[in-house]
Structure 1
Amino acid sequence: MTIAPDDARQGASHLYRAMRDFVQSMDDSLPGKFEITKEGIVHDMMSPGGPHEVTAAHVSRRLERLMPDELLAHTGTPDVEDESEGIMRHPDVMVIAWNDLDVQGSIDPRTLIAAIEVVSRSNPDNDWVGKVRDYPLIGIPVYAIFDPRTGTGAVLTDIHPTPDGPRYATRKDFVYGEDVTIGDWTIGTENLPLYE
């Protein structure tokens, strides 16, 4: 059977909506976080509290001390979603303007100044592989990764076109204890917790 391009797009859109409905129905039923990627649904079984949330809170607070009042380093909901790409993600910290956060439903990922992820112990490839692929595809200009498994991280910037789609051109690795620049702000990474 041959599928015309318009039919293929409609089929992909239908599949995405079905995945989205499933994710929304599971959000309050099962622990962890569900996201929709180019590869399908990801379920991250992170447990609440501990080094993951403490790291996100420290990074958020350190950034907000430096940012102007019209911006925030948000650690709550909602998701960022690009339905045309079939991607719905939930960054641990979003650097965003208050006005861009004040919307009904999901946030347009192109309004984010940066997305910050704390690597999950249960599914590190989601942050180091999947989101490295998905975030430039949906237009998030800066992606910072903090990894409590190793006490290291990276900041990815400079989206550029490639044969496989948009990708980050620049990666700056760091070790906990060093200063790290995320967007226009440089914060310390000292005293961030590690997984035991």
Structure 2
Amino acid sequence: MTIASDGAQQGAPRRYRAMRDFLQSMDDTLPGKFEITKEGIVHDMMSPVGRHELTALRLRKRLEKAMPEEIVAHTGEPDVEDEPEGVMRRPDIMVIAEADMDVEGSIDPRTIVAAVEVVSRSNPDNDWVTKMRDYPLMGVPVYAVFDPRTGTGTVLTDIHATPDGPRYATRKDFVYGEDVTIADWTISTKDLPRYESETDEQP
């Protein structure tokens, strides 16, 4: 759910900073996950648990098994922030060199090797629409989407300029059970869980 918009679409730094300060002031007083996109503050009201988190866990473990030790598949904070563009995201998994995490505050999106998202049942457009736009805008070179609703996904690469701004030029769709390549590493998608009922993400 988008709960603020207006000047965020112009990327106004002052408005963006006001939204950022508001989220920091809220701390952990409201449930769910907050991000800032071009439309404003996006609030995913459900805390992702259950099969969403199991998917992220299995993907993280498979990626880290395939990657060199200095590259990690990190889950959780901090946020990935591009203040000039007025965008702040928190990928379910960020593939990044461990050394590039040694910073104060938010992660520079241009240090990320890949962003991986597990689609939320409560707000799928956040992963399939707005992040598909925001990640190339932020300079994230690879964006992988896993959708437990359908047992499918896609990997997007090759940022190029378009009249609507930077977009991914290459899209490789997959179905669960196939091997998938994210950046330089290929992992299995076997045994990834699917959502089976409306309560799969409920605590």
**TM-score after normalising by structure 2:** 0.89
Task: Give CA deviations for 1:83-115 in whole Å, capped at 9, x if unaligned.
Answer: 000000000000000110111100000000000
Identity of aligned residues (%): 78
Within 5 Å, give how 1:37-76 maps onto structure 2: 37-76=37-76
List alignment gaps of at least 5 residues for structure 1.
1-9
> Structure 1 CA distance, aligned partners of 2:120 and 2:27?
18
Q: Is the 8 A contact 1:27 1:34 kept in 2?
A: no
Q: 2:5: which partner in 1?
A: none
Q: 1:3: which partner in 2?
A: none
Q: 2:79: which partner in 1?
A: 79
Q: 2:161: which partner in 1?
A: 161
SS of residue matched to 1:84 = helix
Deviation of 1:26 (Å): 2.8
Q: Is the 8 A contact 1:153 1:174 kept in 2?
A: yes
Q: Is the 8 A contact 2:11 2:86 kept in 1?
A: no
Q: 2:24: which partner in 1?
A: 24
Q: 1:5: which partner in 2?
A: none
SS of residue matched to 2:28 = coil
Which portions of structure 1, spanning 4 or more consecutive aligned residues, are displaced by more than 3 angstroms?
Answer: none
Deviation of 1:45 (Å): 1.9
> Structure 1 CA distance, aligned partners of 2:141 and 2:46?
26
> Structure 2 CA distance, aligned partners of 1:43 and 1:60?
24
Q: Is 1:195 equivalent to 2:195 in the alignment?
A: yes
**TM-score after normalising by structure 1:** 0.93
Within 5 Å, give how 1:1-196 maps onto structure 2: 12-196=12-196
Deviation of 1:126 (Å): 0.2
Aligned residues: 187
SS of residue matched to 1:113 = strand
Q: Is the 8 A contact 1:127 1:145 kept in 2?
A: yes
> Structure 1 CA distance, aligned partners of 2:56 and 2:180?
14
> Structure 2 CA distance, aligned partners of 1:125 and 1:90?
15
Q: Is the 8 A contact 2:33 2:47 kept in 1?
A: no
List alignment gaps of at least 5 residues for structure 2.
1-9, 197-203
Amino acid at match of 2:57: A
SS of residue matched to 1:31 = coil
* RMSD of aligned residue pairs (Cα, Å): 1.3
Amino acid at match of 2:60: S
